[in-house]
Amino acid sequence: MDRTHIFLAVLVVIASLLSAGCSNNDMFMTDQRLQRGMVVILPGVEGPSGYNRDVRRGLVSAGVPYALPIRSWGTPIPLLGIFLRQIDIIGAHIAAAGIRDEIVRYQDAHPGAPVYIIGHSGGGAIAVMVAEKMPDERKIQGLVLLSASISSAHNLTDALSHCEYGIVNFHNTDDGLLLLVGTTLAGNVDRLYGPAAGLIGFDWPKDSHNDLRKQAYARLYQRELTPDMTLGGDPHTRVTKPRFVATYIAPWILRSRWPATKAEMYAYIPTSEP
pLDDT digits (tens, 9 = 90+) for 57-113: 999 999 999 999 999 998 777 666 677 788 889 999 999 999 999 999 999 999 999
Average pLDDT, the chain: 88
| Element holding 16 (H helix, E strand) | helix 3-18
Delimit the domains of the chain by residue range. Answer: 3-265
3-state secondary structure of 169: strand
Contact 62, 268 (CB under 8 A): yes
Closest CA to 40 of 68, 1, 20, 60: 68
Taking residue 138's Cβ as centre, other Cβ atoms within 10 Å add up to 14
The whole-number pLDDT of residue 270 equals 52
Superfamily of 3-265 according to CATH: Alpha/Beta hydrolase fold, catalytic domain (3.40.50.1820)
> Considering Cα of 200, then 166, then 146, then 266, what sign does the dihedral take?
positive
Checking if the pLDDT of 29 tops 60, the result is yes
| Element holding 82 (H helix, E strand) | helix 80-87
More confident residue, 17 or 76: 76
Which pTM value belongs to this model?
0.87
3-state secondary structure of 24: coil
